[in-house]
Amino acid sequence: MDTPNSPPVHAENQGVAGVDLGVSALATLSTGEVVPGPKAHTALLTRLRRLSRGLSRKQLKSRNREKARRKLARLHARISNIRADALHKLTTDLARRFPLIGIEDLNVKGMMRNHHLARSIADMSFYEFRRQLEYKAAMRGGRIAVADRWYPSSKLCSVCRSYTEKLTLGTRQWTCSSCGSKHNRDVNAAINLKNLAVSSTVSACGEEGAGSDLMTVVKPASMKQEISAIATYG
């Protein structure tokens, strides 16, 4: 018996959101919400190293080596599942709430060259976050506005739009020298991404737009992704 196709589920109209991804927290929203990352690899790193050392000490082709290999593989699978679960929950929630979302086009490969942050960046899975958000937003009729990777979202005052050049990565709170506004670095960046997303809708109407700071991505979901995501996450 054929079942009628269910009507498309649209995003709730909670306005526009900017999402700033980071290392200390997975995502900071322009609403002020902070979503901590699970950091599964970091949390289980000690056990991961112990099992890896144990595997290397086992005799080749022995039964004990096979047991150690399976135990290490299960731990890697657990880390992957924890990370995937957190990303799916976050991206599903964002796509459900906001019809327009502003994010950054992060140069993940370049960021991974920083040996001090490479493990933390890999643990957050920035690329996978964007991939999931794009297809889930498209499924709900939403839109993703992607800021150019050179857009200074963190160094731009979200109140007066003045640019602060000397702002180190470790500076989490700063005050605008032009208007005196006090900013949380991540929240300020998220608000700038939100404003850029709003300006993309103005540009689409033929009025003054965001210029070269924005490239808008609307990525239609494949049928396989759509069926899987609706069945699993609603």
CB-based burial, 111-120: b 16+ in 10 Å, e otherwise:
eeeeeeeeeb
Cβ-based neighbours of 98, under 8 Å, separated by 6 or more: 11, 12, 14, 15, 16, 17, 142
Show the tokens assigned to 134. 């794009």
Residue 224 to residue 167: CA distance in whole angstroms:
44
Residue 196 to residue 160: CA distance in whole angstroms:
14
Bin 141: left if φ > 0, else alpha if -120 < ψ < 50, else beta.
Answer: left
Task: Return the active site residues.
Answer: 20, 104, 186
Show the tokens assigned to 73. 């593989």
Strand 16-21 vs strand 100-104: parallel, antiparallel, or unpaired?
parallel
Residue 111 to residue 22: CA distance in whole angstroms:
11
Residue 20 to residue 185: CA distance in whole angstroms:
10
CB-based burial, 42-81: b 16+ in 10 Å, e otherwise:
eebeeebeebeebbeeeeeeeeebeebeeebeebeeebee
